[in-house]
Amino acid sequence: MLSESLLATRTNNMGSSAIREILKVVAKPGIVSLAGGIPAPEAFPMQHINKLTQLVLEKYGSTALQYGTTEGFMPLREALVEYFKGLGITSTAEEINITTGSQGVLDSLAKIFISPGDPLAVEAPTYLGAIQAFNPYEPNYVQMETDEDGLIPESMEEVIKKHHPKMVYLIPTFQNPTGRTIPVERRKKIAEIAKATDTLVIEDDPYGQLRYRGEFQTPIKVFAPDHVIYCGTFSKIFAPGLRLGFYLAPKFVREWLVKAKQGVDLHTSSLSQTLATEFLNGGYLENHLPKIIELYRPRQEAMLNAMEKFFPDSFTWSKPEGGMFIWAEGPKGMNILELYNEAIENHVAFVPGKYFYTDKGAGEETMRLNFTMADEATITAAIERLAQAMNKVVTR
C-alpha cells in the first residue's frame, strides 16, 4: 500500500483543517451563516450573462474556447488599462497579467520568492486564503500590528528592519477579515518605507470597488509603483465562478510570475477572459456595480445597527465603509469556542478570528461576521440571537 510517508516535507505545512472542522456545522439546516465570505448570487449580472456569452461567441468565435497565452487575453489586458485608470493607476496592457482568481497570483508569488524559512510579513489578522497559498512554500510568518486604521506603518518598518521579509502582504481596503481600510496618509508612509528599504509589497484589493460610503483611497501602488504588486479580481464585481484575477507588477516579477503560472495551469480560462473583456468594454461593470452596492449597503447597515442595538457593552467592532466583513472583539479572556457553540445552538454561525492570525494564541476573543449572504431581516434576527449567546457566555 502507498502511504503518507511518500509525502514531501512541505506538506506538513498544508494540513491545518481546524477551521474546516468548525465550519462543518454551518451547513446544518436552519443555521444562518455569517461565517461565509462569498458574494450573494443576487449580485451576479444574471440578466446580462446570456447576452454576454452570445456576444462573446459571435465576436471571438473559437478563440473563446482555444488555448491562450499565459500572460492573458490581450483585449482583456487592454480593457484593464481603463479599469486601472479609474483607480488612479497608470499602466499598459503589456504590464497587466491575468490569473486564475487572485488566488493564482498569491501561489505564484510565494513560489518565486519564498525559500523554506524565508520571512514573509502579514497583517495581524490577515486573509486565510493567502496563508493557504503561501504555506506550501514554508515561509516564516512575521506579524505586523494593526489598529482601526489597518496596518500601523511603524510596525511594518520595525518588522522590515528586524526580519527583512521577502514580501509584505497587505489588503489595504476593506480588509479580510477586519473590514478596515488604511487611510491615504498611512498608505504614503507604507510606500515610503517600501522604497527606502527596497521591500516588495503585495497590495491585494478584492474588495476596493465595494464602497458603501466615504471616500476612495488611492492604492499604495500609485505611491510606490516599482515596489508594489497590485492584485485585483472579478470575483466581487462580476462572478467568482469564472476564476478571474489580474495583477500589475514590476517587470522582472511579472516575467517570473508568468513562468510559474505556465507550470500551474498554462493559462486562465479563455471563455472567462472573453466574458470579462465584454463586461468591461460593454459598460456592464459601470452599470452593474451600483446594483451590487445597493444590495450590500443596507445589509451592512442592518448588521451594524443590530450590533449597536443588541451586542453587550463588553464587545467592540469595526465600522467599515465597504467590503464584506465586520470584525468584532469580545472581552479579554472570553472563550470563543464556548460562544461559537452557544451561537450554533441559537442557529447562527461566524468564524472565530484566531484562524486569521499566523501567531498561535493571538485573536482569541475575536470574530469575523459576513453580511453579504443574507437579507436585512435575517441579519438583524441573527445578530440578536448571536447577542443572546454572547450575554450567556460573557456573564457566566
- Chain positions 65 to 124 lying near a second copy, rule: CB under 8 A, are 65-68, 100-101, 103-104, 106-107, 111-115, 118
Site string for a second copy, 240-279 (x = CB under 8 A): xxxx------x-xx--x--xx-xxxxxxxxxxx--x----
Nearer to a second copy, 6 or 377 (CB): 6
Q: Which is nearer to a second copy, 217 or 268 (CB)?
A: 268
First to last CA, the chain: 51
Instruction: Name the DSSP class of 174.
Output: S
| Residue recorded with cell 464585481 | 237
Q: Which is nearer to a second copy, 178 or 199 (CB)?
A: 199
61 or 214, CB closer to a second copy? Answer: 61
With respect to a second copy, which residue has the nearer C-beta, 86 or 241?
241
Using only C-alpha atoms, the chain has a radius of gyration, in whole angstroms, of 21
CB atoms within 10 A of CB 338: 14
Amino acid letter, 352:
P
Q: Scanning residues 151 to 170, which ones bind a second copy (CB under 8 A)? A: 166
Closer by beta carbon to a second copy, 44 or else 212: 44
Gap between the Cα atoms of 368 and 179, Å rounded: 9
Interactions with a second copy, residue window 211-230 (CB under 8 A) = 226-227
Cell of 232: 485585483
Cβ 164 to a second copy shortest distance, Å: 10
The answer to the question of residue 368 lying near a second copy (CB under 8 A) is no
Q: How far apart, in whole angstroms, are the C-alpha atoms of residue 97 and residue 137? A: 22
**Axis crossing angle, helix 376-395 with helix 336-345, rounded to the nearest 10:** 130
Distances (CA, A) of 142 to 69, 124, 164: 36, 9, 10
Using CA atoms, how far apart are residues 64 and 274, in angstroms rounded to an integer?
6
DSSP H stretches of helix in the chain: 18-23, 46-60, 74-86, 101-113, 128-134, 153-163, 184-197, 220-223, 251-265, 270-281, 284-310, 336-345, 376-395
Report the distance separating Cα 315 and Cα 324, nearest Å.
20
Residue 183-202 contact track with a second copy, rule CB under 8 A, x = bound: ---------------x-x--
Query: Which grid cell sits at 311?
Result: 451586542
Residue range at the interface with a second copy (CB under 8 A); choices 25-33, 126-134, 142-150, 296-304: 126-134
Min dist CB 134 to a second copy, Å, is 8
Query: Residue 282, interface with a second copy (CB under 8 A)?
Result: no
Name which of 167 and 336 has its Cβ closer to a second copy: 167
Q: Could you tell me the CA-to-CA distances from 349 to 205, 328, 339, 365, 383 in Å, in that order? A: 26, 14, 10, 15, 10
CB of 277 to a second copy, least distance (A): 13
Q: Bridge partners of 8?
A: none
Q: How far is the CB of 113 from a second copy (least distance, A)?
A: 5
| Number of residues located near a second copy, criterion CB under 8 A | 80
Q: Select 204 or 365, whichever has its Cβ closest to a second copy.
A: 204
Closest approach, Cβ 291 to a second copy, in A, equals: 14
3 binds a second copy per the rule CB under 8 A = yes
Instruction: Out of 2, 29, 290, 332, point to the residue binding a second copy (CB under 8 A).
Output: 2
Residues 31-60 touching a second copy, rule: CB under 8 A, are 38-39, 41-42, 44, 46, 49-50, 53-54, 57
